[in-house]
Structure 1
Amino acid sequence: MVESRYLGGEYRDADDGTDVGAEYFAGRWDTPEGVIAIVFPCDGMPDARSLLDVHTDTAVLVVVEHFYAFDGPQLQAVDRERPELVYHPWWSDLAAHVGGPVPWWPSALRRRAHLTAWAPGAAPVPVDVATYPSWEPLYELARQEPEGSPVRRACFTIGHRIATSEAEHASWEMENLRSWSQGPGDSMVHPAVPNVSDPGAGELTTDAVVGAGLAELCGRTDDLAVECLENVSAWSSEDLPYGGTFQVTRSDVTRVAAEWINRLRDVPPTALHRVWAETYDTVGTFVDPVTGSPVVAVKGRFAFRRVSEITYIGRAPKRLPEGTVLKEVILDDPIWVRTDDGVLYPAPVMDAPGLSWGYDGSGPLTLAQCVGRLLDDGGAHAVTYGDGGKDEPGLGEYFRIKHKRGTRLTRHDLVRARSGG
């Protein structure tokens, strides 16, 4: 090993005024060949050549990429003397040049304070995992709520799931590299481990309480509630009180969709309204009085169409009320169902798998499963991945047919198709 000296590191944000456009940490070693900078991306992937223009005292610049080469995470390197030549050294080569094992952090452990404080030879320290979606706003809100409240316990529970999943993955990544026969071996050191100390672990709760807490959170209006719902939605919509998202455009609406639009009621925006509203040019916030689902009206939702065009974005129910009886299915986007008491609903569906018809694929098969369940039990839950739902070959064949949009299929039609008639 050559003699070298660690010069410390620098953490840079994506908006640092340079053209790099990524967030990263650069550790720097003074070596006989000049300064070698090793870059660990934290958000985005910087290009090694563009970094030479920022780190002007650097002789060699190495970016640690996310995907793997033969001996570990791939290294992208460039020398100032020949910046046009990008090459991929081995970890053992890099360790030889900096005079000792090279640090490597899983993405989840690349925290600014820890990275900038690290020095060669330091013992591994516990680090709170950095995740997307983020568990931290959920814990922040939970701490503000009364002990035992559904909102508090729901936020701790989902935050714990997010953090635990990422911590387990980070630990697996490091153990995989340690046990990999062709891996970096002694050329790599792991300066951090996931922090397993969890202040919310004692307040984890059941799915039912999580659902109740999130339902309450959806009706709030504060900024932190919005941030929490953004992260919950990015993690999984499974625990939210509503099903999958759908949209209806005013200029291209069927009679049944117009029926749904006309029953919407104006309401002040809630936190769940705002999760959508901050993405689009929102012109109205509503509630569906039948399902309780929030609805937003936005302008210019689709490119290459009129910017004044109004689109309504809502959420389908996960299930219809217990005891309802399916009367008909209307083929539209979304799929609609009407019960024997005349009430119209978006068909129960999650964000995935989706419902559709008119081709040979998963959409018609999922619609067949959904309709089969509703024929047996009007209050059945929407189809989800891996829920063990039974196949509906008769309905599956029926929904592969290219029925005209707006086609109404009565219960009699559906029962006959189900039996293969």
Structure 2
Amino acid sequence: MLGLDLAGCAAVLGVSGPQVQLWDSTGQFAAPRTGQGRHRRWWRTDLYRWAVTSPLHLADRVPLSHWPAATGPRPYLGARLIADSVALMWATPVGTMAVVWPVSGRRPAPRGYLSPLLRAWGVVGAATVAPGLDVGGPVVESLPMTPAQDAGSPLSWTELSALIGQPLPYWPLPLRREVLLTRWRPGQATVEALAGDPELDTDALLRMASLYKADHPAARLLVELARTVFRQEAESAGGEIDAVARAVGAGTTVVAARPMPVPAVDLDDVDEGTRRAGWWEILCRQDTLAEHCLLQMLKWDNGADCPFGHRFTVRAASPTVDEWIARLEPTTRSAAFRLLGEVDVDEETLRDPATDAPVVRRRDGDEIELRAAAPQRLRATSPLAEIILDHPIWVRTADGTLYPAPQGSYWGIGWGYPGFGPNCLALLIHRLLDDINARAADSVNGAPVGLQRLTRITMPRGTVLTREQLESARAGTWQPTRDDFPAGYED
């Protein structure tokens, strides 16, 4: 081990060289490990041991991993809110120590922001609890209280527990809520609480459900979604507690909160037709609660049962775009427009009568831009007649109606390259040839090889693929050639 000279000791402690020389000359400084005179050397561990117990009050300059273990339970000083976190504080023999728990669902404050706040409360040592586990238990990170303190100093859950001389309380991630953290006291029995996804506002879902009778599709959808969230988060919290129990040492941990048991449930317990009807009800509402609920539902599964999938933007004119624009109708703003992002007050809200899809028209410089949601299914009564490769891709039925091609909530569609988009387009074509009301592609697999080969070909924008061509491609008896596309073809 390489020793430190006086200048090195000053740097480690974050004090001036003259200050260390003064301590040394007055007999207040740590004894050197080796050497004499100018050749004296100090080991870092000895330096920390001296600093943390020195009457000069230098504990804030020593990483917690070098603090002495408590000989018995230390007094709990309570909890304080700090930058979307809760700091639990204890009185240790060398000063006040804080264990900072970020509240789930909130953005943790930068480490450099926490230290000055804690110091203002008299805290001289702190650690933060991070998500996840390591071989010794929950992950904890020592929080530097001074610029000179080593930010990378390792610290284990067992070491942290030893500093307070008693088991540390533990909350699984779904139960790291402000109210549970601040109400905890040493010796308190484990509490049961409803686990929930911190990123998803289930209270809003249940408030909206309360506006309907219990058997209404919207109520059934919202209640079942909330129950599904509670169930999955309860299972997650329970699994986390079990994993912690296997990882931590004896006497280091007390479970502060457990999830309340939730009956087995799944959103699929409500049939797809009811879920879709519930979505329609919420999309058509014009209140802010409906918009908020819509955002929560999108967070859950990206709108798997929503009538609309991917949104598309139209900036360049084409015959199909002009035909589509001509039929759009003005409409009042509803929750459905949240599918298109933020809608400014000066943007025009429109409706596509063929799909009921929301459309927003706005001016972008000298150009007009339209944002719209693609349907996940077509409400057509006539079979597929042709596919038009444009931006977006279009479907025309035998009765002449033009529709934006269905798109799912996850996979998009495209053509002209080997990838997910063309594979999804091939699957969509395969389904629409059999059933014009079929669901949008929900996988990159499942289409016949002939259709996959077709959609990977680089064909010019505006290419029209007839039903006969599509059926032949599906059967493997036709593929376009350069003669079909004088320009813009690439196999």
What residue number does 1:18 align with?
A: none
Of 26, 29, 47, the residue aligned with 2:110 is 47
Distance 1:340 1:108 in 2: 52
* TM-score, with length taken from structure 2: 0.75
Structure 1 equivalent of residue 79 of structure 2: 9
Runs of 4+ with >6 A deviation:
none
Equivalent in the alignment of 1:403: 459
Partner of 2:220: 153
Given that residues 246 and 334 in structure 1 are in contact (C-alpha distance below 8 angstroms), is that contact kept between their aligned partners in structure 2? no
Question: By how many angstroms is 1:339 displaced?
Answer: 0.7
> Aligned residue for 1:303?
none
The equivalent position to 1:266 in structure 2, one of 314, 326, 330, is 330
Residue 205 of structure 2, aligned match among 138, 152, 155: 138
Q: What is the TM-score with the length of structure 1 in the denominator?
A: 0.87
For residues 22-73 of structure 1, give each alpha carbon's deviation from its aligned partner in whole angstroms, at most 9, with x where no partner exists. x111111111121111111121233334311111111111111124433233
Structure 2 matches for 1:226-305, cutoff 5 A?
Answer: 226-238=291-303, 240-250=305-315, 252-274=316-338, 276=340, 278=342, 283-298=347-362
Higher mean alpha-carbon deviation, 325-334 vs 45-54, is at: 45-54
2:373 partner letter: R
Task: From the superposition, tell whether residues 265 and 326 of structure 1 become closer, same or farther in structure 2 (CA, over 3 Å).
Answer: same
1:97 is aligned to 2:163: yes
Match of 2:180 among 103, 114, 132: 114
- Could you report, residue by residue, the CA deviation over 1:203-233 in whole angstroms, capped at 9, with x for unpaired residues? x743322221221121111111111111111
Code of the residue aligned with 2:71 in structure 1: it is V
- Tell me if the contact between 2:138 and 2:244 (Cα under 8 Å) persists in the aligned partners: no
Alignment of 1:325-404 (within 5 A): 325-385=383-443, 390-404=446-460
Specify the code of the residue in structure 2 equivalent to 1:5. P
Which residue number corresponds to residue 33 of structure 1?
Answer: 94
Q: Secondary structure at the match of 2:278?
A: helix
The range that moved more, 184-193 or 117-126, is 184-193
1:208 lines up with 2:273 in the alignment: yes
Gap change, CA 1:125 and 1:380, over 3 Å in 2: same
Find the residue that maps to 1:76 and give its secondary structure.
Answer: strand
Gaps in structure 2 of 5+ consecutive residues: 1-69, 479-491
Residue 391 of structure 1, CA deviation? 3.1
Q: CA deviation at 1:356?
A: 0.9
- Aligned-pair distance for 1:147? 3.2
In 1, Cα distance between the equivalents of 2:253 and 2:200? 29
- How far, CA to CA, are the matches of 1:140 and 1:240 in structure 2? 21
More moved, 126-135 vs 355-364: 126-135
**More displaced stretch, 165-174 vs 25-34:** 165-174
Against the structure 1 CA distance between its residues 289 and 91, is the aligned structure 2 distance closer, same or farther, given a 3 Å change threshold?
A: same
SS at match of 1:311: strand
- Label 1:79 to 1:291 Cα distance change in 2 as closer, same or farther (>3 A): closer
In 2: Cα distance, 1:153 partner to 1:237 partner = 19
Contact 2:424 2:443 in 1 (8 A): no
AA paired with 2:154? H
1:358·1:403 contact (CA, 8 Å) conserved in 2? yes
* Residue in 2 that maps onto 1:20: none
Q: Which has the larger radius of gyration?
A: 2
Kindly indicate whether residue 195 of structure 2 is the aligned counterpart of residue 126 of structure 1.
Answer: no
Over the aligned positions, Cα root-mean-square deviation in angstroms equals 2.5
Change beyond 3 A, Cα 1:309–1:178: farther
Q: Tell me which amino acid in the other structure corresponds to 2:221.
A: A
Cα distance change of structure 1 residues 309 and 103 upon mapping to structure 2, 3 Å threshold? farther
Residue type at the aligned position of 1:55: L
Aligned-partner Cα distance in 2 for 1:50–1:88: 20
**Cα distance 1:253–1:119, how it changes in 2: closer, same or farther (>3 A)?**
farther
Matched residue count: 398
Question: Over residues 325-359 of structure 1, what are the superposed CA-to-partner deviations in whole Å (9 max), with x where a residue is unaligned?
Answer: 11111112322111111111111221221111111
